[in-house]
């Protein structure tokens, strides 16, 4: 364990960690090995049972509230449930882990988390060039004429002599995610309820083109310099993106009125009708498809792309928006009995391997919702 991490843990236990430090510690603890290190460090340096009983959330709440108030001073947003939501989201991982710190071994915790991931998540349907379909999921390795998969990543071979474009299609169902490495080395992370169409091999010297039919995808594009200047283009129904070699995220879900394109590194140009709009790192293009209007704004990139690393990150998101994300990830229908709670706003992060019922209980305990019911594949909130 390095000195920086030890300092983060000490600040956490001393109730002095701020929002960013809590985020860093939460991400570090995601690794089961680090979780075990945290447990041992805690046991070795503190009177654990006493500390757990006396350490409540008040100081963490106070620190986070100060940051929220600073944001309010710069913004018109009112975070009515900011504290509750922050505790529910940012601190859920840490404090639920804390509650079980001495009742569950690191090995048991890892086994439970592994089982949960294997029951869901890494899954997709690959449609081959002949129209046949192959199910991709954890634990199943497959090999096609052009690609191999270990159950988590689908990797295409680079066949330099290919002269005809042949397409495959990767469809991610609700409750799933998958990664595909294209023949040029470009990596694409696909979120739940998404579909990507792409050539099994790009033709040398020609523009590399793929289509995000719908959903959300994060692209880490192999630079043009490695492909004799061949550009990389991403199409969807509403826009075209020209790329030289960069990392960016596109969110274009069916049934939603906005398409969001967020640049992480490099430079891209987005074409909408006859308009060409350039983005710089940390900028997001918000396209309103109903009104055919667009706006470029600076965003916290982490909030937009953390999903690919197993984290939900919400900032200024309403309960309705949060539950829409959950509905895709947990493959459920959300019903609001009380429409007045839809617009409550949230700040915080949450690991994607948390059980939905655990999250809902936390929301209820902090008064964000009065109650909830889980009926088969439907959640009713009031």
Q: For residue 370, what is the domain's CATH number?
A: 3.55.50.30
Residue of 250 and 227 predicted with greater confidence: 250
243 and 216 share one domain = yes
Whole-angstrom Cα distance, residue 349 to residue 27? Answer: 10
Q: pLDDT at position 39, please?
A: 66
Q: Which two tokens stand for residue 17?
A: 């960690």
Same domain, 243 and 287: yes
Strands 153-156 and 176-181: parallel
Helix (H) or strand (E) holding 316: strand 311-318
Give yes or no for residue 204 having a pLDDT over 60. yes
Same domain? For 279 and 326 the reply is: no
Give the residue with greater pLDDT, 140 vs 4.
Answer: 140
Specify the length of the chain in residues. Answer: 382
Residue 56 lies in a domain: no
More confident residue, 93 or 308: 308
> Nearest 5°: CA angle at 276, between 273 and 280?
140
DSSP state of 291: T
Which tokens belong to 340? 């007045």
Q: Same domain for 373 and 249? A: no
Could you tell me if residue 332 is inside a domain? Answer: yes
Shared domain check, 219 and 342: no
According to the model, what pLDDT value does residue 47 have? 36
Let me know whether 319 and 269 are in one domain. Answer: no
Residue 205 CB neighbour total at 10 angstroms:
9
Per-residue pLDDT at 142:
92
With respect to residue 233, please indicate whether it lies within any of the assigned structural domains: yes
93 assigned to some structural domain: no
pLDDT value of residue 338 = 86
Same domain? For 336 and 272 the reply is no
**Strand 283-288 relative to strand 293-298, pairing:** antiparallel
> How many domains does the chain contain in total?
2
Instruction: Choose the final residue of a domain: 303, 334, 362.
Output: 303
Q: Examine residue 228 and state whether it is found in any structural domain, yes or no.
A: yes
Task: State residue 210's pLDDT score.
Answer: 98
What pLDDT does 48 receive? 36
Q: For residue 171, is it within any domain? A: yes
Residues 227 and 356 occupy one common structural domain: no
Are the beta carbons of 311 and 27 closer than 8 angstroms? Answer: yes
Give me 124's structure tokens.
């997709």
- Asked if pLDDT for residue 54 goes beyond 70, the answer is no
Does residue 91 sit within a domain? no
Domain end residue (candidates: 252, 271, 303): 303
Q: Chain-centre distance of CA 326, in angstroms?
A: 11
Q: Based on the domain organization, do 221 and 330 belong to the same domain?
A: no
Q: Residue 52: its pLDDT value, please?
A: 35
Q: Which of 4-13, 76-85, 368-377 has the highest mean predicted lDDT (pLDDT)?
A: 368-377
How do residues 81-129 score in pLDDT, each as one tens digit? 333 334 334 333 333 333 332 333 333 333 333 333 334 478 999 999 9
- Reading the block at residue 292, the tokens are 């055919």
DSSP, residue by residue, 252-312: E-TT-SEEEEEEEES-EEEEETTEEEEE-TTEEEEEETTTTEEEEEE--HHHHHGGGGTEE
- pLDDT score for 14: 56
Cα Dmax for the chain: 70
Structure tokens at 282: 């940390």
Least confident of 27-41, 114-128, 287-301: 114-128
pLDDT band at 20 (very low <50, low <70, confident <90, very high): confident
Mean pLDDT of the chain: 78
Looking at per-residue pLDDT, the higher value among 106 and 286 belongs to: 286
β-strand partners of 188: 180, 219
For Cα atoms 120, 368, 102, give the angle at the middle one, nearest 5 degrees: 60
Is residue 377 over pLDDT 60? yes
Q: Specify whether 191 is located in the same domain as 157.
A: yes
- Per DSSP, 27 falls in state H
The answer to whether the beta carbons of residues 11 and 21 sit under 8 Å apart is yes
Res 261 pLDDT > 90: yes
Distance of CA 57 to the CA centre of its chain: 26
Whether 15 has a pLDDT exceeding 60, the answer reads no
Choose one of 303, 332, 354: the last residue of a domain: 303
Q: Rg for the chain (alpha carbons), in Å?
A: 22
Distance (Å, whole) CA 274 – CA 272: 6
- In angstroms, the Cα distances linking 201 to 135, 180, 188 are 21, 13, 15
Confidence of residue 312 (pLDDT cuts 50, 70, 90): confident
| 281 and 344, same domain (yes or no) | no
Per-residue pLDDT, averaged over 75-85, amounts to 37
Q: Residue 286 belongs to what domain range? A: 120-303
pLDDT of 347 reads 67
Q: Is residue 6 part of a domain?
A: no
From the CB of residue 359, how many other CB atoms can be counted at a distance below 10 Å? 21
Same structural domain, 207 and 243: yes
The pLDDT value recorded for residue 102 is 30
Per-residue pLDDT at 273: 86
CATH number of the domain at 168, please: 2.60.120.1440
Q: What is the DSSP letter of 202?
A: P
């Amino acid at each position: 364990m390095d000195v920086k991490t030890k300092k983060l843990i000490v600040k956490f236990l001393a109730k002095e960690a701020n929002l960013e430090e809590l985020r860093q510690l939460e991400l570090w603890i995601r690794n089961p090995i680090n979780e075990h290190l945290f447990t041992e460090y805690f046991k070795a340096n503190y009177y654990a049972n006493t500390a757990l009983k006396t350490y409540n959330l008040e100081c963490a709440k106070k620190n986070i509230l100060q940051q929220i108030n600073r944001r309010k001073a710069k913004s018109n947003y009112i975070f009515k449930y900011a504290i509750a939501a922050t505790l529910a989201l940012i601190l859920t991982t840490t404090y639920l882990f804390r509650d079980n710190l001495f009742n569950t071994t690191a090995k048991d915790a890892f086994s439970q988390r592994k089982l949960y991931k294997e029951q869901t998540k890494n899954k997709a349907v690959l449609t081959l060039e002949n129209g046949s379909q192959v199910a991709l999921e954890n634990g199943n390795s497959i090999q096609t004429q052009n690609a191999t998969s270990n159950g988590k990543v689908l990797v295409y071979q680079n066949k330099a002599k290919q002269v005809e474009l042949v397409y495959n299609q990767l469809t991610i169902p609700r409750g799933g995610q998958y990664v595909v490495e294209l023949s040029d080395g470009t990596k694409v992370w696909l979120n739940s309820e998404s579909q990507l169409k792409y050539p099994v091999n790009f033709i040398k010297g020609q523009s590399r083109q793929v289509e995000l039919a719908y959903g959300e995808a994060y692209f880490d594009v192999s630079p043009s310099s490695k492909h004799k200047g061949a550009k990389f283009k991403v199409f969807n129904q509403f826009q075209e993106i020209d790329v030289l070699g960069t990392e960016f995220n596109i969110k274009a879900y069916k049934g939603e009125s906005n398409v969001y394109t967020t640049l992480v590194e490099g430079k891209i140009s987005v074409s909408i009708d006859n308009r060409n709009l350039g983005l710089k790192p940390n900028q997001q293009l918000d396209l309103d498809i109903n009104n055919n209007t667009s706006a470029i704004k600076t965003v916290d990139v982490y909030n937009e792309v953390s999903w690919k690393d197993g984290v939900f990150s919400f900032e200024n998101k309403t309960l309705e928006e949060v539950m829409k994300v959950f509905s895709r990830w947990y493959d459920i229908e959300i019903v609001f009995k009380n429409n007045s709670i839809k617009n409550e706003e949230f700040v915080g992060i949450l690991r994607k391997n948390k059980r939905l019922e655990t999250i809902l209980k936390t929301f209820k305990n902090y008064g964000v919702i009065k109650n909830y019911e889980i009926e088969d594949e439907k959640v009713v909130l009031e």
